[in-house]
Each structure stands twice: as C-alpha cells, then as structure tokens.
C-alpha cells in the first residue's frame, strides 16, 4: 500500500533519488545529455533538505511511500510564481519512479497537494510542463485545462512549455477523480 505524507528532512536523499532518476528517464530526449549526466545526487539532496527544513511555511512537499518506507514519488507546491495568470497555487514538481508509475500514485500525490493548497487559502493551481513531456496527458486526465504557453531557455536549449490549470480546487476535490484518490 502507498501512503502520502508530509516530507521530513530525513527524506531528502530518497527524494533526490526519485528526482534524479525520473529526470534522466523522462528528459533523455528533451534536455542536453551533459546536463542530465552532470546532475548530482548530493547537490539535489542538499537542495531538498533545505527546502523541507528551512522553508516549511513556504513550500509544501509531500512524499509517497510504500509499507516498507521506500519513497517512490514526491510532489512540491506553493504560491504561484506567475500571478498574472490568475492562479493562486502552483505545482512545482511531481515525480513518480518509473517502475511505480501507472498505479495511481501520481494522482494521489496531486490531490493530496491540492488539499494542502486549499488549506493555505490557495483556491486554484497551475503546473508548467515541457510540451514534449508525455506527462502533459496525465494533467489533462486529472482535469487540468490548457491555460498558457511559453518558451524558456534551459541550459542553452529553447523549450516550449504548457501550463495546465485548475480554477476551482474545491470543486476538483469534490469530483469523482479526487474520491478515487483519497
């Protein structure tokens, strides 16, 4: 069974493991090889330890773990960094290890994060996804609507991104998808 809970600083290594492995898998055809090869587990763990320990009031971080305490996925969110689009919250990251995908964990993490955003008074949310990332279909299945597009330069590569948005998290959490994820 998979449990969704708040992350603790002790989860930083496991989160880094999920982060680095899913980046290398999902972005292999989208980002520069040298950037993916150069990702450091230690630096990534340090970053997440700081986010969880020093900014608990700012960023929400939730992890999914199995009965034997293996962290198989995580998500982070907080206030939207793009207020002009009219969304209060933003999903910053959502990753599930390859071998555990397709079993409902991504959906459970997403709805758990939506509940925490609402608890903080953030009534809507968006997420930015690389246009070439097949995960964009996941957000459509989760009821997100396309709300914006942009071009970003990351590590010297020009990439298109799409934002998916949920205008009313309360309604989303009362919908059939949320019921199956709780």
Ligand X SMILES: CC(C)(COP(=O)(O)OP(=O)(O)OC[C@H]1O[C@@H](n2cnc3c(N)ncnc32)[C@H](O)[C@@H]1OP(=O)(O)O)[C@@H](O)C(=O)NCCC(=O)NCCS
Give the binding site for ligand X (CB under 6 A). 22, 26, 94-96, 101-107, 127, 129, 133-135, 137-138, 141
Least distance from ligand X to the Cβ atom of residue 129, Å: 5
Least distance from ligand X to the Cβ atom of residue 142, Å: 7
Least distance from ligand X to the Cβ atom of residue 92, Å: 9
**Between 101 and 124, whose beta carbon lies closer to ligand X?**
101
- CB distance 138 to 127 below 8 Å: no
- CB distance 31 to 154 below 8 Å: yes
Q: Point out the residue whose Cβ comes nearest to ligand X.
A: 106
**Between 87 and 95, whose beta carbon lies closer to ligand X?**
95
- Phi, psi angles (nearest 5°) of residue 163: -105, 130
**Between 106 and 165, whose beta carbon lies closer to ligand X?**
106
Q: What is the spatial distance between Cα 97 and Cα 95, in angstroms, rounded to a whole number?
A: 7
Contacts of 47 (CB under 8 A, 6+ apart): none
Least distance from ligand X to the Cβ atom of residue 133, Å: 5
On the 0-12 / 13-18 / 19+ scale of CB atoms within 10 A, 128 is middle
Degrees, nearest 5: CA angle 175-178-182: 145
**Between 96 and 122, whose beta carbon lies closer to ligand X?**
96
**Between 112 and 121, whose beta carbon lies closer to ligand X?**
112
Least distance from ligand X to the Cβ atom of residue 164, Å: 9
């Amino acid at each position: 069974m998979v449990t969704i809970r708040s992350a603790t600083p002790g989860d930083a290594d496991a989160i880094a493991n999920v982060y680095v492995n899913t980046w290398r898998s999902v972005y292999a055809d989208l980002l520069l090889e040298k950037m993916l090869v150069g990702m450091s587990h230690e630096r990534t763990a340090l970053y997440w330890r700081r986010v969880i320990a020093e900014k608990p009031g700012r960023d929400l971080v939730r992890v999914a773990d199995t009965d034997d305490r293996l962290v198989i996925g995580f998500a982070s969110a907080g206030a939207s960094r793009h207020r002009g689009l009219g969304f209060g919250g933003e999903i910053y990251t959502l990753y599930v290890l390859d071998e555990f995908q397709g079993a409902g964990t991504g959906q459970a993490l997403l709805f758990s994060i939506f509940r925490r955003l609402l608890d903080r008074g953030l009534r809507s949310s968006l997420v930015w996804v690389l246009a070439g990332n097949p995960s964009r279909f996941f957000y459509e299945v989760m009821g997100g609507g396309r709300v914006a597009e942009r071009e970003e330069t990351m590590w010297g590569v020009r990439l298109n991104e799409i934002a998916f948005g949920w205008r009313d998290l309360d309604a989303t959490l009362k919908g059939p998808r949320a019921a199956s994820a709780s």
